[in-house]
Structure 1
Amino acid sequence: MKKQTAMALAAVFAMSVAGTALAAPANPFVDVPAKHWSYDSINQLVKAGVISGYGDGTYKGDRTLTRYEMATIVAKAMANSDKADAAAKKQIEALKAEFGSELTNLGVRVDNLEKNASKVKFTGEIRERYEYSDDAVAKAGDTDKSVAKTRVRLYMTAPIDKNVTFKGRLAAESETGATDSTGTADNNVKLDQAYITGEVGGVTYNFGRQPILLGQKIIINNSGNNDGLVLSAGKDVRVTAGAYKLSSTNYKIGNVDFKLNQNLHLTASYLADDKDDNSNKYKDSAVGLNYTGWKNFAVTGEYAQNSADYVKNNNDGDKAKAWAARLKYKGATSAKGSYGMWVSYRKAENNFDPNKTNWNDFTDSVSWVNGMAEMNDVKGLDFGVEYALFKNGILRVQYSDLTDEKTGDVDKKNMFAELVYTF
């Protein structure tokens, strides 16, 4: 190899090992004498993992490198660039540009060749769901007790800056056979998430259309269409506060998550709307816990009450109370053959969720036929099971043995079966 080429390589790949004394290393190649002018530089390159020579133990410094051989050296330098100083990193970037095509053929990622490529990462899920509810719901005017639904969600994530990320979600759901006023399929496509998340001085912020959940979720677990600002800070005691708008109503929220140990979390939550006196429907407070100290089991529980004026005016002056508890064993993951099962009990007085739109989701059921509320004038048991039929494909079934909360005379039995595939 010519002296000029060797000197250039030594300058380009002067890693952090270059400044350290080499403790009399063994001769790396049989054809590089210890007294050769390039001996130390070659040793530095070997130690940095940049060069390895030929299979016969030779360096062959007197032959001209092909562009592919040089690209291989550049690829190894890229892999070890975390050891390089600023000057060396600049040289490596220049070599990446020079040998871009060869590196691509070698299957090496080259950032400058991808600078015009999209930074948005897409993931998603497809859900096929069957729902059934008993006569009580059908008496509202719809005689159909069952419905089949298809839902598609496409998630988008894109880095904006250090500690700043954009997140979005396109969602579409339609009932089997459903059409709009023109007779065409009603897919109901919405951008129900579009927000910026980041961190400044230890405070995490979400700004824009975002999911909102509090505590153990019997107050609110609404995954979309909430426009606002939410701030969180802390580790073992994490405090969250914010405000958002859903439909035409403004809400303010607060949540404190106390991590007592790695298995036990206690939560305290607050949700209120900004309606005038006598018309505000939400003034909720809740306390809950989540415990995972038993092998393969998780226990979740929460108690809440709604003391809004509208609620008391329609409940003989009383607050509306609710509580729920769940015991879950294991849980299905993306791995084929994984599974889980659960049993839960819930009880919610009338007008606890007066709008019946806050999508309380403690029991893992998201929507019911004709919009029957999950935490409003209801009590009873839920039994569920889930199983990963194949990689990223989970079958979930839940049966709910429910009645109205006050008398227990109104039958509100419900079940759903769904297959969710993520990609």
Structure 2
Amino acid sequence: MKSKVVAALAATMAIGATCAFAANPFVDVPSDSWAYKSVVELADAGIIQGVDGQYFQGNRNITRYEAAEMVAKAMAHMDKASVEQRALINKLADEYADELNNLGVRVSALENRVGNVKLTGDARIRYRYQDSYKSEKGLAKDDIAGKKNDSSWDYRIRVRANAQVNDRTKVTYGISSDNKNFADNAQASDEDNDIYTDIAKVDYNFGGNNWNLSVGRTDAYVLGNAYGYNYGDVFDRAELKYKNDKFAATAGYGKFKTNGTDTYYGPNVAGKNVLDANGKLTSDGINGVKTGYGELEGFFGGGRAAGSAVGVYYNDFTRAGDTNNGEQNSFYADDLWGAYAKANLGKWSLLGNYEKVNFDKDIKTARSAKTDDASVWIGKLSYGKANFATPKSWDAWVEYINAQDGAFIGANSNSWRFDSHMDNIESWGVGADYTFAKNAMFQVMQSFGTNTKDGNAPDPEEQTRAQFVFVF
């Protein structure tokens, strides 16, 4: 293996005259050896170091990890390579991708290969079940959030194209199918417009890669390492971020979407939509709402890579031009602020998240007419870590949610739960993830102890979810 890897790397390195007079660092490589020139050039470039700094040991087989280390160092010299040479380095990097990932090299080196366009994606098949939502009286059982038989099963496919334009600029474009169910009675209209653009953005790194300017659409708006309680869907924005191993600061401005459309109207109290004087749905959902936002984060216990962090964040909401019974800016939430803490304790991981929504008291909707604002507390304890690249890896977790009425303002949150039952609840959940084959994972989740917090509505039924996820 060694001769093949060394020969390939030597062929790619345009070192030329810069090392023509470099000294041979290895006592076991004679000047008349067929590999002499290549070995000297690679050693001078820092790609190989030998054994004990003196011996090359050319007849010894090397491990894949040693080969990956040499590939990683070659990737650092991509700026010296021609298009054909970069293609060969990229091929070697793909061959040793898992080893590079485990060595922590994946990173900028793999993702910043100039001139490389990489397609990635995932496919999900899931099962979700919850009995009828009893608080919705007067509706037929099949009209509410409960899922039965084939309609409990759905699928989604996403594809991403990642193009590294130069060493600072990256373009990402992605498409996604909507969640389509397997029910035999699915309406033909359900098949229309189910493919949409969920990512279309340009990222520009500068300032020694500590600064990043990102402009365009992202598929999930989640600040920091928080739970993602309120929103986890398409978001159009311009965002500036500074980060190092100890600190990160984010500022941006954008507009919320739901599956890339402008047709979602969020549920109001007890999941009921609010009608205006003409019997039309009011624009009380989060779709189309604009927000300015910011976040400050600190990383500790080994820095950003260690997974331990604290953060605070803020959103200021507006919906210019909309009306609700004659009132402008009809979105009931005025602003939101939150804080999180995440601790990595070896195989254990603990997350705590708090958010508070301040109502706009001038907007005449059922929620914003309240005098009290709403908050949510979330805790999650995890053990282990399931990794798509590592078969038989697994994790298990338990979570707790305590949300006041009005704390949930969005649609398609990052939670595994039904969005219609994220608000005004106290609930526990458990789950597990298992990588049964490379790039293939099985996940299962179950809620329990779910209660309605305020009002006389019956408690929601418990939720069950299981899914297969495949990445490529």
The TM-score normalised by the length of structure 1 is 0.70
Q: Which aligned pairs between 1:52-67 and structure 2 lie closer than 5 A?
A: none
User: Which residue does 1:286 correspond to in 2?
Assistant: 338
Equivalent position to 2:382, from 311, 328, 336: 328
- Runs of 5+ unmatched residues, structure 2: 1-13, 44-71, 94-114, 258-287, 321-327
Q: Partner residue of 1:238?
A: 248
1:315 to 1:296, Cα distance in 2 relative to 1, 3 A = farther
Instruction: Work out the number of aligned pairs and report it.
Output: 344
Which residue of 1 is the match for residue 373 of structure 2? 319
Q: How far apart, in 1, do the equivalents of 2:75 and 2:294 lie?
A: 42
1:267 equivalent among 303, 311, 333: 311
Residue matched to 2:413:
360
1-structure distance, mates of 2:249, 2:425: 31
Shift of 1:93: 6.0
Q: CA deviation at 1:328?
A: 0.5
Question: What do the CA deviations read for 1:214-261 (whole angstroms, capped 9, x no partner)?
Answer: 2413454424x2111011113222111101112422111111111233
- 2:66 counterpart residue number: none
- 2: CA distance, partners of 1:265 / 1:136: 37
Conservation of the 8 A alpha-carbon contact between 1:305 and 1:319: yes
Change (3 A) 1:275 1:170: closer
CA contact (8 A) 1:197 1:207 kept: yes
**C-alpha deviation, 1:49, in angstroms:** 6.8
- Secondary structure of the residue aligned to 1:212 is coil
User: Structure 1 pair 142/250, CA: closer, same or farther in 2 (3 Å)?
Assistant: farther
Q: What aligned pairs does 1:343-422 form with structure 2 within 5 A after superposition?
A: 343-354=398-409, 356-357=410-411, 359-361=412-414, 364-365=415-416, 368=418, 371-374=419-422, 376-401=423-448, 402-406=450-454, 409-422=458-471
Give percent identity, aligned residues only. Answer: 17
Q: Are 2:357 and 1:306 equivalent residues in the alignment? A: yes
Q: Distance in 2 between matches of 1:267 and 1:23?
A: 49
Cα distance in 2 for partners of 1:151, 1:168 equals 17
Instruction: Spell out the pairing of 1:124-135 with structure 2 (5 A cutoff).
Output: 124-135=121-132
Q: 1:218 to 1:318 in 2, by over 3 A?
A: farther
Distance 2:444 2:76 in 1: 52
CA distance in structure 1 between the partners assigned to 2:243 and 2:15 by the alignment: 43
Does the CA contact (< 8 Å) of 2:397 and 2:431 recur in 1? yes
Call closer, same or farther: CA 1:320–1:278 in 2, change over 3 Å: farther
2:18 is matched with 16
Moved more, 160-169 or 273-282: 273-282
Structure 2 counterpart of 1:405, one-letter code: K
Q: Deviations over 1:92-118 (max 9, x none)?
A: 969x79xxxxx99xx999xxxxxxxx9
Letter in 2 for 1:227: D
**What does residue 209 of structure 1 align with?**
217
Change (3 A) 1:182 1:220: closer
Q: Secondary structure at the match of 2:232?
A: strand
Which blocks of at least 5 consecutive residues in structure 1 are unaligned?
A: 1-11, 33-41, 51-78, 98-102, 110-117
**Whole-angstrom CA distance in 1 between matches of 2:26 and 2:153:** 75
Is the Cα contact below 8 Å between 1:48 and 1:80 reproduced in 2? no
SS in structure 2 at match of 1:213: coil
Structure with bigger strand share is 1
Aligned counterparts of 1:272 and 1:13: Cα–Cα separation in 2: 54
Residue 297 of structure 1 aligns to which amino acid in structure 2? W
Deviation at 1:139, TM superposition (A): 3.8
Give 1:168's aligned residue: 173
**Matched residues in 2 for 1:387 and 1:16: separation?**
50
> Quick one: structure 1 residues 187 and 151, their matched pair in 2 at CA, closer, same or farther if it must change by over 3 Å?
farther
Query: Helix, strand or coil for the counterpart of 1:135?
Result: coil
Do structure 1's residue 252 and structure 2's residue 292 form an aligned pair?
A: yes
- Could you say if the C-alpha distance between residues 179 and 270 of structure 1 is closer, same or farther in structure 2, counting changes exceeding 3 Å? farther
Following superposition of structure 1 onto structure 2, how do residues 182-221 of structure 1 map, counting pairs within 5 Å?
182=188, 185-186=191-192, 188-201=194-207, 202-210=210-218, 211-215=220-224, 216-218=226-228, 220-221=230-231
Which amino acid is 1:159 matched to?
Q
**Quick one: structure 1 residues 121 and 44, their matched pair in 2 at CA, closer, same or farther if it must change by over 3 Å?**
closer
Please report the TM-score for the alignment, with normalisation by the length of structure 2.
0.63
For residues 355 and 403 of structure 2, the distance between their equivalents in structure 1, rounded to whole angstroms, comes to 9
The answer on whether the counterparts of 2:221 and 2:231 sit within 8 Å (CA) in structure 1 is yes
